[in-house]
Structures are given as C-alpha cells and as structure tokens.
C-alpha cells in the first residue's frame, strides 16, 4: 500500500516495502535486453561478421553504458507494473523500437559486408540507437505509470544512457570515416545521424 502524506498542502506519494511485487518492470526490461542481444548475435552470425564496430572507443562506451543500464535493471525490480495510458503508451513505443531494431539488423544482414546504407539506413545512420532511445522513453512512461518518483529516476538514468550512446556514436562516426573514407562522408551528408538531425 502506498504511503500518502500532506506536506504544506502538497500531496507526496511514496512506495512502501509492501509495494514490492514480483510483477515489476524487470519482467519487461530483462527480456527486452536478452531478445535484442540475441537478435544481434543471430544477425552477426548470418552476416558473417560482428555487427558491433571494433573501434576501441565503442568498447569503452559499452563499458560505460553498462553501469547505468545495471542501475536501470535494479530500479525496475522496485517499479511495479501499473496498467494505464502511460504504461500502454510505453508498451507501444517499445514495440515500435523492436520493429526498428529488427529492420536495422535485417539491413545489416542483407548488406553482408561493407557500409550499410540501404533499407532503414537510408533514413538514419543509427536506427539501432533510435530503437534504444525509444525503448528508454517507453520505460520512462511505464515507470511514471507506477509512481512519479520512479519515472523521474528512470528518466535521469535514461538520459545518462542516451548521453553515453551519443558519445559512442560520435566515436563510431570517426571510426567509419577512417575505415570507409569518401563513401562514408557522402553517406553522412545525405543521411541524418538519428532521424531529423
């Protein structure tokens, strides 16, 4: 049961220990992480090369992004699933993210080798990251559905992850430009980094 207090005529709602339930957002977050990693592994096997870039900055960024991701998983254990418009809006965003992610992997597999510029990569140089951003926004909405404080904490952690991913993207761009040269520069000029920018 939630504790409701009144401090200077402002309603404060806090989750108590009795609000802990097995039916929390980790039941959604953990499978999403496992499925996305599995899809990437299958895509790498079908393509014959690792989908992830091999530059050192990318590896450092992945290490840095894992810290807030683990914090997000921990927080999700204490964020109950509460059905409502925000929760279902979050589900819709995560579903959309899954479609974008699958299209991204499919384009990688189809390209076989070299720079991927076809399929969904005609509209964005980083559709996989767009899918990650949408997933994070979806979880923020779901967390707000449970309690405002959980939504705020999830939003802060998500912004941390997004900032780290953007840092990783900048490093990947330099790596791809050095690897593919003028081909990548032309692709970079005609295709936005994310969607509209």
Predicted confidence (pLDDT) per residue in 77-127, tens digit: 999 999 999 999 999 999 999 999 999 999 988 877 778 899 999 999 999
Q: Is 9 within a domain?
A: no
Residue 15 has pLDDT above 50, yes or no: no
Residue 9 three-state SS: coil
Q: Is 156 within a domain?
A: yes
Least confident of 1-10, 13-22, 84-93, 159-168: 1-10
Q: Is 116 within a domain?
A: yes
Mean pLDDT, the chain, as a whole number?
83
The enclosing domain of 49 has a CATH number of: 1.20.120
Number of alpha helices (DSSP H) and beta strands (DSSP E) in the chain: 6, 2
Q: Compute and round to an integer the Cα radius of gyration of the chain.
A: 19
Which of 101, 114, 83 has its CA nearest to residue 35?
Answer: 101
Q: Is 101 within a domain?
A: yes
**CA pair distance 130, 102, nearest whole angstrom:** 12
CB–CB of 14/2 below 8 Å? Answer: yes
Q: Is 7 within a domain?
A: no
Least confident of 44-58, 95-109, 124-138, 174-188: 44-58
Q: Is 3 within a domain?
A: no
97 CA to centre of own chain: 8
φ, ψ of residue 139 to 5 degrees: the values are -70, -35
Residue 7 has pLDDT above 50, yes or no: no
Give the residue numbers spanning the domain of 127: 21-190
Structural tokens at position 65: 């992004």
**What is the number of structural domains in the chain?**
1
pLDDT value at residue 13 = 40
Q: Is 14 within a domain?
A: no
pLDDT value at residue 88 = 95
Q: Is 11 within a domain?
A: no
φ, ψ of residue 2 to 5 degrees: the values are -80, 145
Quickly state the pLDDT bin for 51 (edges 50, 70, 90). Answer: low
pTM for the whole structure: 0.81
Residue 159 has pLDDT above 70, yes or no: yes
Rounded-to-5 percentages of helix, strand, coil across the chain: 70, 5, 25
Structural tokens at position 33: 């992480």
Percent of the chain scored above 90 by pLDDT?
Answer: 50
Which of 136, 189, 163, 190 has its CA nearest to residue 64?
Answer: 163
Structural tokens at position 57: 């900055």
Mean pLDDT of 142-146: 94
Least confident of 22-26, 41-45, 61-65: 61-65
Residue 167 has pLDDT above 90, yes or no: no
């Amino acid at each position: 049961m939630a504790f409701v207090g009144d401090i200077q005529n402002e309603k404060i709602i806090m989750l108590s220990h009795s609000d802990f339930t097995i039916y929390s957002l980790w039941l959604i977050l953990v499978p999403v992480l496992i499925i996305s990693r599995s899809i990437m592994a299958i895509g790498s096997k079908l393509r014959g090369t690792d989908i992830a870039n091999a530059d050192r900055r990318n590896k450092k960024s992945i290490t840095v992004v894992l810290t807030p991701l683990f914090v997000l998983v921990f927080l999700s254990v204490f964020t109950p699933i509460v059905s409502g418009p925000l929760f279902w809006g979050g589900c819709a965003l995560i579903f959309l993210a899954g479609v974008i992610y699958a299209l991204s992997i499919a384009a990688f597999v189809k390209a076989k080798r070299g720079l991927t510029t076809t399929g969904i990569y005609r509209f964005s140089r980083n559709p996989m990251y767009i899918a990650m951003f949408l997933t994070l926004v979806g979880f923020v909405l779901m967390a707000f559905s449970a309690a405002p404080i959980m939504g705020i904490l999830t939003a802060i952690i998500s912004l941390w992850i997004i900032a780290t991913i953007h840092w990783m993207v900048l490093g990947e761009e330099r790596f791809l430009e050095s690897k593919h040269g003028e081909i990548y520069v032309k692709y970079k000029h005609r295709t936005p980094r994310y969607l509209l920018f």
